[in-house]
Each structure stands twice: as structure tokens, then as C-alpha cells.
Amino acid sequence: MLNLVLFGPPGAGKGTQAEFLVKAYNLTHLSTGDLLRTEIAAGSKLGLEAQRFMEKGELVPDEVVIGMIKGKLESNTGSKGFIFDGFPRTVDQAKALDSLLNENGTPISGMLSLEVEKQELVNRLLSRGKISGRADDQDPSVIENRIKTYNEKTSPLIDYYKKQGKHFGINGMGSIEDIAGRLRKVVAEL
């Protein structure tokens, strides 16, 4: 089973590249944002619990998110693997995910970390903001803060996967096709 953590700063192209990986390797895309919205819309026990935190502007606790991921894994037992997008974001989350996957004998195969120059990230997000209308993609100061927060919070997670020999830095500059080719080369070696 191929289990990938797709990682990178805001604007790195994770969503675009996740679509490519899903099609190329017949994987299940597991976006925690999508998962939370689906569970809340379904009115599930975990969804209702998550909603209570979100309504207060609080982060959904790790155990709730892990519970949702466990449910998604259990409902997709025939999957050839998973792409984890937006999770894990902390070392504690990575340890919880490892524990869950190791119970099933299906550990993380690798962390694919898209590396993109800061100005390119800003340009991509501003462009996306014009198309999507997302307020957080239209304000350069908000974008700068998102990138800064990402850089400050994620280095421990990168180190966590490096220590396991599972971190793969991928040049995220260039065309979508070029980046997809680089990802394909790394995944082929896994």
C-alpha cells in the first residue's frame, strides 16, 4: 500500500498535485478540511463534536481528526493507498497517524514536500484569490503571515520524517507537468 503525506506551504500546489497522484496511482485523497466538512454535513458523532470546537473558533482536537481519518481508512479498505493532504501538521499528529497506520501494517511510505520560493507562493496565492474570491488569498499581509506561520510550525514535522528516511523534498517551481514528473519519479522509487 502506498501512503503519502503531501506537504508544502500555502500556494505550493498541493491540491493540484494531489489530483494528479490520485489519478496516476489510484489512491484515495484524504483532505482533512474536506473530511471535516463532510462529517459535519452528515451530522455524524465526530462531525458534531468537531463542529462544537469550530463554532468557538477553536482547533478540532487531534483525537477527533484521527477518529475521522480512521473511519475513512476503514471505509476504503480496498484502496491502493492514501494521500494525506493537510494532515499531519504537528509531530504529535504524525505520531498518532503512524500509530493508526502501523496497526494495519500500512505505514507512511513517504512525505512529499513541495518546495517553492516565497515570492512565487505570494504570486500564486494572489492569482488564486482573484479567481476564487477567497479573502485569505487576496491580502499580501495575510499571505505573508500564513507563509511565516507555515515555516515556523512545520520544521519539526519535516525533521520527524527525515529521521525516518521518509522526507522527500520536491522542487515545486515550474509547470504543473514538470512538478508532476518530479513527483512521479520519487513515487516510483517508493
Exactly one of 37, 72, 118, 128 is catalytic; name it. 128
128 noted as active-site residue: yes
146 noted as active-site residue: yes
Where helices occur in 118-175 by DSSP H, the ranges are 118-132, 140-163
Exactly one of 134, 148, 153, 185 is catalytic; name it. 134
Residues 6+ apart with CB under 8 A from 61: 53
| DSSP structure string for 69-98 | HHHHHHTTTT-SEEEEES---SHHHHHHHH
52 noted as active-site residue: no
148 noted as active-site residue: no
Exactly one of 70, 89, 118, 162 is catalytic; name it. 89
81 pairs with which residues across the strands? 2
Residues marked active site are found at 14, 89, 128, 134, 146
